[in-house]
Structure formats: structure tokens, C-alpha cells
Structure 1
Amino acid sequence: MKTESGHPHPSLNRRQLLRMAAAASAASTTGWAFASGEKTAFPTKPVRVIVPFAAGGATDVLARAVCDKLGQQLGQPSIVDNRPGAAGLLACDAVAKAAPDGHTLTLGTTSTMLSNQFMFKKLPYDAQKDLVPVVRICWAPIVLVVNSKLAARTLPELMAYAKANKGQLTYGSYGIGSQGHLALATLSKVTDADMTHIAYKGEAPMVQDLVGGQLMIGIGSILSLKQHIDSGKLRAIAFTGRTRVPALPEVPTFAELGHQQDAFTVSGWLGVAATGGTPAAVADQLGAQIRKALQTREVNARVLMAGFVPLTDDSPQRYQADWRRELPIWKQLLQDAGVQPT
């Protein structure tokens, strides 16, 4: 403590000053957050990150990479809790009903945290009130592929082929209402191809049929498709989103090729959300610490290996704004594709 003259307060000796400095350092390390003018220690216990998918998948792998760094930075363990099933509802509901103190988070996808609101007639939680966006860790664009036996090598060639074979083609996605379904339903519509959608229960069976030739057109993640693209069994045609993907930089986006419809330009993402009512200062701190983790070589490499695009400049405020902006877009896309809530 200093007087107005800038010199140490005479009533404090050197030992007391050292103790105060140590306390301030400890507060910085453990992450003091400030709310309503009072300081609240965060974290005071392990931070649990609930993942809505089984262990071993891309989301789980990235969650564990982020959690390893986050735990080191916060000075408390950061633990992954896998709760697969019910299209992500179980994981989101657990976070929605947790204490609003920032110690329980979910790392989910556009589907689990956004479009699910329009896929189900009734959710056990209100996503707009019971979840608070913290930070997105990456964009998750998907890639349109064809079996290499199909003559089409570019998007214009594929569209011409689909139009010439109206009503005869099928395309696969990893589920009804998925971004893949919505993107290819839009492609079918703009080409007047009247293609038939085959909704698979996940990517694995879809990829198996694509590689085997039972399915000629499909769309999915780089993580599932890249090895078959590299082997020449599948041909990458175009990515959703507006940014080329580092894992396949030679493949253009739909937008680059002149297709600006929302189904092609919006990009899926993986993001972190906390319980509704979590103090803004805690959400800000979590966002900053996760961004810091993403900037490390290890975590950045994991994101790239999964075929995603790292997002290191997000914030709770930007995330919230995009969440609100994208809600009506996903709602309209689902309606246009004829997806009825169950």
C-alpha cells in the first residue's frame, strides 16, 4: 500500500507487504472474478465439462485437449464427463440444471445447443435462458463428397449431373435435421434435382456406404472422410462455411463458387456453454482461459487434425450475438427441408 506521495505506507513492514503481494498473486492464479463489486473466488473446485457424445469422437478429443490446458491454467482439475444420447439433450439438461457458478460446462455443437430447439416439440430446458454462451473453440465446416466412380469432379459438374438425372439420385447425411441434410436438401432444390435423402444414424455407416459404392453422394466431417479422400475412393467437391479448411486447402467453399444461400454459408461450430445465471465475470474469465488454451501448439494441432478451423478470437459477447442471429436461420432451414419437430 502506498501513500499519496507514492511511498510505502509507514504502518506496514516489509514482511506484511510481501504477504499482500503473495495473496494478490494467488488470487490472479486461481482466477478471481468480480461481480457486483465483490470478489468471488473462481474456481473453488474442479470444473466439469459435459460432452454430449461418447469418448473417442472429435468433440471428446478436443474437449480433453482443452481441459488439460484449462486445468493447468485455472489451478483446478478440469474433467470431461461424457453423456451421449438423446441428441445431446442429456448433456445440455445437466448443465442447465447445475449451479450457476461456472463449474459445470458443456462442450457441444451447433445441433446440440442451437438447432435442437426446433427439432423437438418440448425440451427439458429453455436453451435461451438456461444456457449461457461462453466461447466457441472452432468452426466445424462439412464437406460434400462423391464416390470417385461418379463422373462429376466439380460442383458445377455435379449440379449438372443431378439435374440431368432428376429424381434418380440419393444423397446421404448423418441424420435428419443435420447441417449436412439441410445443405444437400438446398442443393437439390436449387438444381431442381429432386434427390432423395437417406438419413444415417451417424457418420460411420454413411461413410461405409460411400466407400462401398452403395451411396454416391454424401456430406460429413473431415475427420471421418479425409482418409478416403486421400486414398482416392472419395472426391471432395465443396465445403460449407466461408473459410477454406486447412486440412484440405485446395477444396473451395460453396460460397466461393457463387452459392450464397444460408445452408451453404453458415458454419457449424463447437462451443462451450455454462449454466444460465453464471456471473458475466466468470463467463468472461472462462472464455479468456479457453482462448489461451486454444493458442497453445498442442491444442491448436488437435483442432487442425480433426479437420476444424481454430477460432481464437471469440468471446461470450460475440458468441451470444451470433447465437441470436443464427437462431432464425436454422429454424427456417429446417422448415424449408420439411423437418417436423418430434
Structure 2
Amino acid sequence: MIKPLLLLAAALACGPLQAAEPFPGRPITLVVPQPAGGAADALARSLGEEMGRRLGTTFIVENKPGASGMLGTNVVARARPDGHTLLVTNSTPVLTLPYMFDKVPYDVNRDLRFVTQISSGQLVLVVNHEIPAHNMKEFMEWAARNRGKVNYGSFGVGTSGHLVASYLSHSRNLDMTHVPFKGEVPLIQELVGGRISWGFTTLGPVVPHLQTGRLRALAVIADQRPKELPDVPTMAEAGMKDPEFKPMGWFAVLAPAGMPEAVSKRLEKEARAAIATPEMQARIQAYGMDAIGNSAEDARKEYELLAPVVERMVKTSGAKLE
């Protein structure tokens, strides 16, 4: 009897036994490291509604912008890995910023794990209507004839539109000049006004200007032609098959590393089911994106495939932030 008594005493000395917290045991917070009103914010709120119904809990969206998205991303990287704090973000803080800053406060491979990718954005190569090019072949010939004289715009240094345009210029030895803007609205305004010759934009804001003929779309960075532009080829269809011309502007759900596997699988299952609903699919399409909803493993593989490509593009562009 002495040994059992000793074991009981040792157990009591360690404190009362605690059962594992049920999941979900309380509301789930979706941290968005971008401002309210943007695409990541809208996707998080839509996803939270769908997942909340499936999991029987409340989803709270918290916008924590700052430091180009690193602030909110770091909040999740340092959060308790119990599934009650998740990250909904565009690809910039996890895919691009680690190569643009000398130091970031988190390590994507060490501190975060993917749950699923929600959607991928589409970039459209548009030119002002006065540019004498109606397809990529004509555009490249025109740019070569005007080597060193052509400018292009982007919606910010280090954005996907900047990196891919810079790569196009450098890889084809076109010596184009980059003109960055603080956002997409001023970029499109300057494109329409003809003060910028061309640039990559997202689909939604530029469609009205394509319809009026003030701008012309030559190709899209997407896996397939968007339904809004059925006659505009993808970059691959236009002969531009470099890996740098694959979609890299995606939105994803991530969680702190170290989350229990059962919780991770449950979140993955319910997130993918939510993304697959007709309601969520319609919302994603309304944002001018393609729905994904892949497995956590495939999301991680996609990240690992793109990371070295983005690293090369950042080096090529010379884009650095402090």
C-alpha cells in the first residue's frame, strides 16, 4: 500500500488534474493585419460567418494593421496555439516582407502553420489606350523599340504589381522606370490619364475603364481567364511562362505553430467547407478572386514553391523597406 500512497501524494503535489480545453471553448479571434474595409478584412468577416455556423461559436475579427502587416502577423505568431486565435491575411506579410526587411519579428516556418488558402487574386497587365499594343507580342515589341523610355506604375514598392513588372522589365532587358503610388486608385487614375504607360492592377477596380476603352488589358496573371475578361489570355497563354508570372497574391488562414493536430484538422475541415459553400464562392468572385480552399499541406507546399521565386523577384527589383 505504500507505493500507491506515494504516487497519490506526488500527483496531489503537482496540483489538480486538468482536462484538455474543449474546442472551440470560447469565441475565435480572426486577426487581420490590414486595415478594415480591405479585401482581407472582407474575406475574414465572410469566412467567420460561415465557420461560426459550422463550429457553433462566435468569430471576432480584429484589425491590427501596422508595420506593413507585420504587427498583426506577429500577434498571431506569439499567440497561444489552441486554435482560438487565427490569422487571415494577404500573402505580403508571410511571403514578401521577410525578403524586404533585414529583420522581421517572426519566422514563418517556425512560428506559423497554414490552415488553408482562401483565394488568389488576379493581376491584369493594362496599358493606356494610346499605347500601340493589343496583345503581349505587340507590347513587347513596342517596349523594345522604346527601351529606356517607358514608365510603369505600381500600387506601392514591393507589392505584387511592382515585383512582377520589375521582373518583366529586367528579364527582357527593357530598362523601364518604376513609378510607385500609394494605393491602386491613384495608379489607375494616372494610367487612365496617360501619365503612366502601363502597369499591373487587380481586376475589380479596372474593369470599368476597360469597358470605356480608356485602358486595354493585354494579359492576366491567373490560372485561367477570368469570366469578366474571356478574350484576354493568361500570361502563360501569351507565351510568358516564367514561374514569376504565376499568381502570388493570395489570401490565407494561418495559426500559431504548435497547435494540437486534432484542432488543426478541425479548423482545416471547417474552413475548407466554408469556402466551398455557394455563398462564400459568390463573395470571393465578387472580390475579383478565384476561390482555393486547399488542404493545409497543399497551402504550405504552395508557399514553399513561391518563396524562392519571390526572393529572386525582390532582389531583382531592389525593393527594400526599413
Query: Does residue 41 of structure 2 align to residue 56 of structure 1?
Result: no
Separation of aligned partners in 2, 1:161 and 1:214: 17
Query: Does residue 315 of structure 2 align to residue 335 of structure 1?
Result: yes
Q: 2:164 aligns with which of 183, 196, 201?
A: 183
Separation of aligned partners in 2, 1:302 and 1:208: 26
Per-residue Cα deviation, 1:254-303 (whole angstroms, up to 9, x for no partner): 11111111221243211010112112221221111111111222211111
Q: Report the alpha carbon displacement of residue 70 of structure 1 after superposing the two structures with TM.
A: 1.0
Per-residue Cα deviation, 1:40-82 (whole angstroms, up to 9, x for no partner): 5211111111112222222221221111111111111112111
Q: 2:81 aligns with which of 68, 86, 100?
A: 100
For 1:9, the equivalent position in structure 2 comes to: none
Contact kept? 1:46, 1:78, Cα under 8 Å: yes
For 2:5, the equivalent position in structure 1 comes to: none
For 1:228, the equivalent position in structure 2 comes to: 209
Contact kept? 2:33, 2:66, Cα under 8 Å: yes
Q: How does 1:181-220 map to 2 (within 5 A)?
A: 181-220=162-201
Q: 2:292 aligns with which of 311, 314, 334?
A: 311
Stretches of 4+ moved more than 3 A in 1? Answer: none
Q: 1:110 aligns with which of 91, 94, 104?
A: 91
Separation of aligned partners in 2, 1:246 and 1:275: 36
Letter in 1 for 2:313: L
Query: Does residue 120 of structure 2 align to residue 129 of structure 1?
Result: no
Separation of aligned partners in 1, 2:230 and 2:64: 34
Q: Report the alpha carbon displacement of residue 133 of structure 1 after superposing the two structures with TM.
A: 0.8
For 2:274, the equivalent position in structure 1 comes to: 293
Query: Does residue 265 of structure 2 align to residue 284 of structure 1?
Result: yes
Q: How does 1:59-70 map to 2 (within 5 A)?
A: 59-70=40-51
Contact kept? 2:119, 2:292, Cα under 8 Å: yes
Task: Name stretches of at least 5 consecutive residues in structure 2 with no aligned partner.
Answer: 1-18
Contact kept? 1:174, 1:201, Cα under 8 Å: yes
Per-residue Cα deviation, 1:212-239 (whole angstroms, up to 9, x for no partner): 2221211121122222222322111111
Task: Tell me the percent identity.
Answer: 38
SS for the counterpart of 1:132 is strand
Separation of aligned partners in 2, 1:329 and 1:255: 16
Per-residue Cα deviation, 1:235-261 (whole angstroms, up to 9, x for no partner): 111112432223323221111111111
SS for the counterpart of 2:35 is coil
Q: 2:136 aligns with which of 130, 147, 155?
A: 155
Separation of aligned partners in 1, 2:173 and 2:28: 50
Separation of aligned partners in 1, 2:289 and 2:179: 25
Contact kept? 1:83, 1:91, Cα under 8 Å: yes
| Structure-1-length-normalised TM-score | 0.84
Separation of aligned partners in 2, 1:121 and 1:64: 33
Query: Does residue 260 of structure 2 align to residue 252 of structure 1?
Result: no
Letter in 1 for 2:72: A
Separation of aligned partners in 2, 1:245 and 1:254: 12
Q: Report the alpha carbon displacement of residue 335 of structure 1 after superposing the two structures with TM.
A: 1.1
Letter in 1 for 2:299: Y
Contact kept? 2:248, 2:306, Cα under 8 Å: no
Deviates more, 1:297-306 or 1:39-48: 39-48
Separation of aligned partners in 1, 2:177 and 2:231: 29
Letter in 1 for 2:104: L
Q: Which has the higher contact order (CA 8 A, sep 6+)?
A: 2
SS for the counterpart of 1:302 is helix
Letter in 2 for 1:78: F
SS for the counterpart of 1:150 is coil
Q: 1:324 aligns with which of 286, 295, 304?
A: 304
For 2:62, the equivalent position in structure 1 comes to: 81
Separation of aligned partners in 2, 1:250 and 1:101: 47
Q: Report the alpha carbon displacement of residue 144 of structure 1 after superposing the two structures with TM.
A: 0.8
Q: Report the alpha carbon displacement of residue 134 of structure 1 after superposing the two structures with TM.
A: 0.7
CA separation of 1:176 and 1:240: change in aligned 2, threshold 3 A: same
Separation of aligned partners in 2, 1:155 and 1:123: 37
